[in-house]
Structure formats: structure tokens, C-alpha cells
A = this chain, B = another copy of it.
Amino acid sequence: MTALEQYISSYFGVPEEDVAAISSYFKPQQLRKQEYYLKAGQVCDTLSFQHSGLTRFFVQLPEKEVTQWIGTPAYFMTDLNGLMFGKPSRWSIQALEDCELFTIHKKDYLALGEQMPAWHELEKKFIARCFTYMEDRVFNLLAMSAEQRYQWLFGQHPALFNQVPLQFLASMLGMTPETLSRIRKKQLM
């Protein structure tokens, strides 16, 4: 089994022949550090599995830049607004370091849905998980203080704080870099 096949198998829990069929649609792609996977305003027409490297989803506002998400290995990357609804993206996706991806283009993505009966259901469940994760994020932003949000993210992905510039994590947590710095200082004392 290739790395991609293992990922697909663990995600979707489908028979091995389906795993092979699905993964055959995905093609290797390199992304160099700083390179863009997608630029704001473009219509995203790919879906990628992130095998290695880190990516950043961000929105450029007139006054500031907002990091919506950090893409990490073993997760999928796309802009659903583009892939599913043909709408332009509000954010850019940029590589924070060199990345190895497995990418499927929209044409093949649609073919996959037609040729593999179970695909829509698998994808539905996958997107549903993403939705419930977003529900959690909204809840955290509604109910928790900056410090509690930090602890939540640190509890889930401690390694991120050594890999990603802290200013991006601060933004993703809904606080300024200064606030994150002070929270982290307090944790040490």
C-alpha cells in the first residue's frame, strides 16, 4: 500500500479494491515553500491530499491578514466553495514549507463520483466530520477566553507551535500575536 492508499483506507474504511481505485485518480504534486496552492478570487478546481509539509489558508483584508486554517499532513485540502459550487475563493492557500501532495482535478473528481457508487456517501461523511469540527470551533470562539482557546489548540496539536510562526496561530485563534505571547509566558510560570 502506498502512503495515499493507507490514508484513504484509514479515512474511509472501504475494501482494498476501492482504495486502489480511489487513489489511482490522485497524482503527485509538489508545492515549494511560499508557493500558492490557490489564490483568493480563483475558483478552486482541485482536491489534494497533503502528504507532507504545512500550508496556510488566509484572507487578506485591507487592514490585516486573517489566518483561517493551517493545513497539516494527512489531511485533505481544497476550497469547497470552488470545488463543489464553482465560486471564487475568499482565501489564499500558500505553502509554509515544501509540500508533497496527491491531487485530483475537478474533472476526475466528478468522474470518481460517477464511477464509484460509494464515493458520495464517503465524501458526505467526511464533509460532515469537517462540519462538526467547525461547530466546535464556533463554540470555542463563542464560549472560551483567549487563554482557553490556546489551551485547546495546544492540547490537540502541540507540535504545531514549533512548526508554524506563532503570529499565524494567534490569528487562527482569534487573538493578536502579543496576546498569544503573553499567554504562553504565563503557561511557563
Interface residues in chain A, defined as those with a beta carbon under 8 Å from any beta carbon in chain B: 59, 61, 64, 66, 68, 80-81, 84-85, 90, 113, 120-121, 123-125, 127-132, 134-135, 137-139, 141-143, 171-172, 174
**Is the pair A121, B113 in contact by a Cβ cutoff of 8 Å?**
yes
Q: Given the complex, which residues of B lie within 8 Å of A59, measured CB to CB?
A: 139, 143
Picked from B81, B121, B123, B141, the residue with its CB within 8 Å of the CB of A138 is B141
Picked from B85, B124, B141, the residue with its CB within 8 Å of the CB of A142 is B141
**Is the pair A143, B66 in contact by a Cβ cutoff of 8 Å?**
yes
CB within 8 Å for A80 and B138 given contacts A66-B143, A143-B61 = no
Q: Told that A61-B143, A80-B128, A121-B124 touch, could you supply 14 new A-B pairs with CB distance under 8 A?
A: A66-B143, A68-B135, A80-B132, A84-B128, A90-B139, A124-B127, A127-B127, A131-B134, A138-B141, A141-B141, A141-B142, A141-B174, A142-B172, A142-B174
**Is the pair A84, B141 in contact by a Cβ cutoff of 8 Å?**
no
**Smallest CB gap from A171: residue in B:** B142
Q: Given the complex, which residues of B lie within 8 Å of A120, measured CB to CB?
A: 120-121, 124
Complex: how many Å from CA A171 to CA B68? 22
Q: Given the complex, which residues of B lie within 8 Å of A139, measured CB to CB?
A: 59, 66, 68, 90
Give, as a whole number of angstroms, the nearest-CB distance from A27 to chain B: 23
Give, as a whole number of angstroms, the nearest-CB distance from A88 to chain B: 12
